[in-house]
Amino acid sequence: MAANHTIAPGFCRFKPDQNISPVYLVYLEQLLRKVGNASFILPCFVIKVGFYLSEIRQRGLTTGKEITHRFCYNSRLIQRLFNSLFVTSKSPQLIPLRQFAGIRYWPTWLGLLFMWGAARLPFTLQMKIGRLLGLLSYFFARDRRHICQTNLRLCFPELTDKERSVLTRKTFISNGMGVMEIAIAWSRNPKDFHQRVTVSGMENLEAAMSRGKGVLLVCAHFSSLEICGSLLTLFKDMAVTYRPNNNPLFDAVMFNGRKKVFNGVFERTNVRQAMRSLKEGNVLWYAPDQDYGAKHSVFVPFFGVEAATITATARFAKFNDSAVLFFSNYRIGDNSGYHLEFGPVLKDYPTEDQTADAIRINQLIEKAIRKHPEQYLWLHRRFKTQVAGESARPY
């Protein structure tokens, strides 16, 4: 079924004022409607922003409501953008984006518009842009670089300083490509990239599903997580858990982008819905490798360093006696595609010892990371929570 591009009613009334809109902008908007070329969108948008900023100064508009009214209620270009950007489903479960029209969200909208336009570029160009973004963040995101360097120093003490420096740089490049892959995953159909994915171990997933008690698909936060999750739905429907973003607009777009491909999207704190999904026999994608604090966690080794490790993995598996598989995803060597790998069903898991269960999961994650350490999300403060308290944090 073709996607139905709609815009939430009441967001913008779109009655262009010819005394306001300059002639050149009208021509650009008409050209955009005719050719549908994404490369025109951001320049047109920037022109519109500049024009209305000029009008704000001339007319003395002061309140956010006045500014938003002048900017949104008189722009056919904005209608074009909202119609084709993120709302591409009839699902009533998507979060309406009209509530984020306020001026404080404009910087986020600009970033999202860049992502949307970039998602429609040729794949090889997308990866080159991703590499550039990664290099820029490596040089300018000092705090994240410090976190990455600290994690690598703790987890790979056998490496020399030079080797860790190279690995840090590669990690940022990989995460830059991950940004482009997020744009693809949230705004493109995964069928467009089916020729770029290979799969191994599908028989393990089939065997686990045949039990009819749901499957807990345990994975790690690799930088290609978003696009590989989207590509995975080409083979099996699945539900996912996620950690909400602090930016409400970005969080809504993230939710909508995932909801369009997954049959369930649950906040990590919504344990009841996640367990219900398993009870219904679904596949639940779950990544337990981040630091969620000391509550509901045990301190066990991760690359030989004590780390707060959540115990929910075992609880999910126990609830419905669901099969547990480890899932890995990587970019292939030349960054031209992706490989998805399903491990065998874990035997004798879970046990009555939650510490032993957490150690086993961490060992699986370590093994997967060591294959391609540069593709892991080392920018996360994995060792933030310490038994000795905040003073013992390595960051």
Q: How confident is the chain (395 residues) per 10-residue block, as mean pLDDT?
A: 38 36 41 41 46 47 46 46 45 82 94 94 97 97 97 98 98 97 96 96 96 96 97 96 94 94 92 93 96 94 97 94 97 95 96 97 98 97 94 94
Separation between Cα atoms, residue 80 and residue 83, nearest integer Å: 5
Task: Give the residue among 243, 260, 134, 122 at the shortest CA–CA distance from 185.
Answer: 260
Tell me, what's the pLDDT at 93? 82
Tell me, what's the pLDDT at 63? 45
Tell me, what's the pLDDT at 269? 87
Separation between Cα atoms, residue 74 and residue 371, nearest integer Å: 53
Tell me, what's the pLDDT at 215? 97
Tell me, what's the pLDDT at 361? 98
Task: Give the residue among 373, 377, 343 at the shortest CA–CA distance from 181.
Answer: 377
- Tokens, residue 118: 């970039």
Residues 158-206 have pLDDT tens digits of 999 999 999 999 999 999 999 999 999 999 999 999 999 999 999 999 9
Buried b (16+ CB within 10 A) or exposed e, 106-142: beebeebbbbbbbbbbeeeebbebbbebbeebbeebe
Task: Give the residue among 295, 247, 249, 250 at the shortest CA–CA distance from 268.
Answer: 295
**How would you classify the pairing of strands 297-302 and 305-310?**
antiparallel
Tell me, what's the pLDDT at 342? 97
Other C-beta atoms lying within 10 Å of the C-beta of residue 201: 16
- Tokens, residue 190: 């995964």
Q: How far is CA 74 from CA 51, 52, 224, in A?
A: 12, 10, 39
